[in-house]
Amino acid sequence: MRYYIIAGEASGDLHGGNLIKALRKEDADAEIYAWGGDLMKDAGAVLRKHYRDLAFMGFVEVVKNLRTIFRNLAFCKQDIAAFKPDVLVLIDYPGFNLRMAEWAHKQHIKVFYYISPQIWAWHSSRISQIKKFVDRMFVILPFEKAFYAKHQYEVDFVGHPLLDEVSKFRPDARFFSRNDLSAKPIIAILPGSREQEISSILPVVLGVTSFFPDHQFVIAAAPAQDYSLYLDLTKGKNVSIVRNQTYQLLHHAKAAVVASGTATLETALFDVPEVVVYKGNWISYHIAKCLIDIKYISLVNLIADDEIVRELIQDNFNIGNLTVELKKILNDDYQQKMKQQYRSLREELGNDGASERCAKTMVRSLK
């Protein structure tokens, strides 16, 4: 069968890559075109567009790039029409993907959605679009099944694919020597994958390094980002940078500063106490604040429905507040309490095997 898969950011590339591997096990004759990244390409997809050309974050940035977005939509429709897939598989990335779902439905192409848009946080009106244009929804957060049930829409809860990623991890005993790191305890910095969030977050985090002389700060560079971005932002600062080694970094870290997103959950699954941070365009942030109806921005707190990790957002994300919170989470008693809460969080997420369960259900449904 033919599959056309669209992912628009780094986390979608990760989960899309694992889904593609699972689909190829279930369907040996699978032909797969994809929008995504290197992981989806390595898994066997023919990559049609890289996500680094798609990641516009915030209202202002989207408006600035409307011409590019419309050009991408037009190309995507033409490409799908030429490929003639049996199914269009959408991975999160709602602004773009819900438009493609509507178009594909009108072309009588079956639409599957893997990893639901966060419509429970905002744009709950989009539930009508999903019910109308999406043939099957596969969700990864435990509370999403109940959310959709309230709207009379049945979905498949397949578990969280990050559990599979973490279970596959094997530590590298030579991590410190390979990266010329000292023996000091590590504070990991995960500043996101988009250029604009990295540029907003890193300068603030780098401002606290001098207050922690007994620790070393190590940045996890996003694979798709130009390395020169990190070199420019860290010039003259006593920090290290590692690439394609985020899980190794988390395994060895004592604490972490993490941009809001999938990485907050990854950090928790590695049992690393963290402070979650976010800083965006001022106009975009205040528009979002009016529209979003959730208590927390981090996946850790959202799943737990409790403040397990401290969130420093916009003006509250500054050198003073970050210094205070880092000192807290480096305290042994504070760390033990947070790790205990992490264990409860893991139990909420279900069992390993999300990608395989999703692929099996997809292929069975198509056949």
Measure the CA–CA gap between 34 and 222, rounded to whole angstroms.
Answer: 20
- How many C-beta atoms lie closer than 10 Å to residue 246's C-beta? 19
Residues 6+ apart with CB under 8 A from 294: 120, 121, 122, 302
At 189, is the secondary structure helix, strand, or coil? Answer: strand
pLDDT digits (tens, 9 = 90+) for 36-81: 999 999 999 999 999 987 655 444 455 555 677 788 899 999 999 9
Per-residue pLDDT, 119: 83
- 300 versus 223: the higher-pLDDT residue is 300
Per-residue pLDDT, 64: 57
- 126 versus 243: the higher-pLDDT residue is 243
Q: SS3 sequence, 231-267? A: HHHCCCCCEEEEECCHHHHHHHEEEEEEECCHHHHHH
Per-residue pLDDT, 36: 95
* Phi, psi of 352, rounded to the nearest 5 degrees: -65, 170
At 95, is the secondary structure helix, strand, or coil? Answer: helix
Residues carrying CATH 3.40.50.2000, the chain: 2-160+351-366, 167-348
Mean pLDDT of 339-363: 93
Per-residue pLDDT, 118: 83
- The letter for the amino acid at 277 is V
Q: What is the mean pLDDT of the chain?
A: 91
286 pLDDT band, cuts 50/70/90, is very low
Residues 6+ apart with CB under 8 A from 353: 159, 164
CATH of 167-348, one of 3.40.50.2000, 3.20.20.140, 3.40.50.720, 1.10.287.1770: 3.40.50.2000
What is the dotted CATH code of the domain comprising 2-160+351-366?
3.40.50.2000
Q: What percent of the chain has pLDDT over 70?
A: 91
Examine the pLDDT at 105 and tell me if it is beyond 70: yes
- 165 versus 240: the higher-pLDDT residue is 240
pLDDT digits (tens, 9 = 90+) for 183-201: 999 999 999 988 889 999 9
| Cα torsion angle, 251, 341, 137, 68, sign | negative
pLDDT digits (tens, 9 = 90+) for 329-348: 999 999 999 999 999 999 88
Per-residue pLDDT, 62: 52
Roughly how many angstroms between the first and final C-alpha of the chain, as a whole number? 9
Examine the pLDDT at 287 and tell me if it is beyond 50: no
> Strands 87-91, 110-114: parallel, antiparallel or unpaired by DSSP?
parallel
Per-residue pLDDT, 55: 53
